[in-house]
Amino acid sequence: MRKTGFSPADILLPADGGFETWAVVACDQFTSQPEYWEKAEEIVADAPSALRIILPEAQLSDGHTEEHIAKINSTMLSYQENGIFREYPDAMIYLERTQSDGRIRRGLIGKIDLEEYDYSRDSSSLVRATEGTVLDRIPPRQAVRRNASLELPHIMLLVDDPEDTLIGPLRACDDVIYDFDLMLGGGHAKGALLNEAQKENAMKALEALADSPLLFAVGDGNHSLASAKAHYEEKKAENGPGSEETLLCRYALVEIVNLYDNALEFEPIHRVLFDVDPEDILKEFLERYPKAYKGEGEGQKIRFAWEKEDGFLTVPDAQAQLEVGTLQTFLDDYLARKGGKIDYVHGDEVTLELGRKPGCIAFLLPAMDKNDLFRSIIADGPLPRKTFSMGHAEDKRYYIEARKIR
């Protein structure tokens, strides 16, 4: 554990099954679609459910956040007191998640030491953020965790393991502890406990991977992990020197997934600017990067489209490893100086449709190659926000496992 920051955890699961109503999708999904969460409410009804002990972000703006959090905390305690959970001590779980497209994503669940996580740009820690952390997204999540007795994870850590030495051998795990369909089009989840030999072999494989410059990159749930870190630092300060040795909140449940898992796809997230002068933006972009030019050539190529023009910008001498870094650096500076709005959009067609409206311009970015992720983080630090998306909302992690943090 000292070399990897990862270890088995005391994992809680529903004692009497009922996983179909227990498991719900990550709280930061379907934030603009309250009807999704209304359907989840109908499915769960009065059954014990993770839905009762998480706060969907779709509810953050309803004016009742404090009441929601108080109810979550009391429900957690009630579930613990009334025998809702069975504890699996010192456990690791091998997870097979069948996605909505039918492909199977494989992972390993355990806990990560938050002392080994640092989301700052110049971090050299074992666990690093893949994208820039938006600090004002931390306090609401930290508030949910502050008085909570349990945590439920939707954090996914990516490991650079092209030979599949960590997850691949776990397919032999056969001590199945859950196997069920996920609600509302989420596919299927199957989990199996690792035995002692399998845990030992997994840790050895992880230790071998730890010799690389970067062990873990946060693939999903970066702000949840950042909130867990902030909560831990807060409790450590309250309890004084030496408390880090006994605080349960020093650790966070995570799922490790191999970057090269065939079910993992990186989809680009495009940019659309509103209430701007497209000609001025293009002029300033070419001034910002003097060797850049309109047209396609050797170097980084970024497609643009607005009401009167559709073409490419080529930057032959880019300093950033990825096109999104070159573009976002410019856009942040431009919008700060001249105003306008930006949106992050999935899909080429809708991006072009929006960008061709009056006073708008779209920038379409290429899909990121998985092979570039770790190299880029090592060279440049966390990527710009909204660099890539890993799959559709239905395929994000569901809350299944829990763990005591008090």
Query: How many Å apart are CA 76 and CA 72, to the nearest integer?
Result: 6
Domain presence at residue 167: yes
Whether residue 279 sits in one domain with residue 257:
no
pLDDT of the residue at 133: 65
Beta-strand pair 216-220/388-390: unpaired
pLDDT of the residue at 350: 85
- Asked if 403 contacts 150 with a C-beta cutoff of 8 angstroms, the reply is yes
pLDDT of the residue at 141: 79
Domain presence at residue 189: yes
Q: Of 194, 209, 223, whose CA–CA distance to 108 is shortest?
A: 194
pLDDT of the residue at 1: 63
Query: How many Å apart are CA 368 and CA 388, to the nearest integer?
Result: 7
Whether residue 300 sits in one domain with residue 317:
yes
Backbone angles phi, psi at 277, to 5 degrees: -105, 100
**Residue-by-residue pLDDT tens, the chain, 406 positions:** 678 999 999 999 999 999 999 999 999 888 768 899 999 999 999 999 999 999 998 887 778 888 999 999 999 999 999 999 999 999 999 999 999 899 999 999 999 999 999 988 888 899 998 877 666 667 777 888 889 999 998 999 999 999 999 999 999 999 999 999 999 999 999 999 999 999 999 999 999 999 988 999 998 888 889 889 999 999 999 998 888 899 999 999 999 999 999 999 888 889 999 999 999 999 999 999 999 999 999 999 999 999 999 999 999 989 887 898 899 999 999 999 999 999 888 778 889 999 999 999 999 999 888 888 898 888 878 887 778 877 777 888 999 999 999 9
Domain presence at residue 375: no
Crossing angle for the helix pair 278-288 and 323-338, to the nearest 10 degrees: 120
Whether residue 132 sits in one domain with residue 28:
yes
What amino acid is encoded at 350 in this protein?
A: V
The secondary structure of residue 117, as a DSSP letter, is B
Whether residue 304 sits in one domain with residue 234:
no
Query: How many Å apart are CA 365 and CA 363, to the nearest integer?
Result: 6
The total number of structural domains that make up the chain:
2
Domain presence at residue 81: yes
Whether residue 286 sits in one domain with residue 229:
no
Domain presence at residue 284: yes
Residues in contact with 200: Cβ distance below 8 Å, sequence separation at least 6, in sequence order = none
Whether residue 115 sits in one domain with residue 230:
yes
pLDDT of the residue at 123: 84
Domain presence at residue 187: yes
**C-alpha dihedral sign at 76, 77, 78, 82:** positive
pLDDT of the residue at 136: 63
Distance of CA 394 to the CA centre of its chain: 14
Whether residue 166 sits in one domain with residue 59:
yes
Whether residue 275 sits in one domain with residue 257:
no
Whether residue 276 sits in one domain with residue 181:
no
Whether residue 164 sits in one domain with residue 257:
yes
Residues in contact with 100: Cβ distance below 8 Å, sequence separation at least 6, in sequence order = 185, 186, 187, 392, 394, 395
Distance of CA 72 to the CA centre of its chain: 22
Domain that includes residue 231, residue range: 6-265+391-404
Half-sphere exposure for 141 (CA within 13 Å, toward CB): 25
Whether residue 212 sits in one domain with residue 64:
yes
pLDDT of the residue at 131: 78
Distance of CA 291 to the CA centre of its chain: 36
pLDDT of the residue at 405: 95
CB atoms < 10 A from the CB of 380, how many? Answer: 15
Whether residue 302 sits in one domain with residue 172:
no
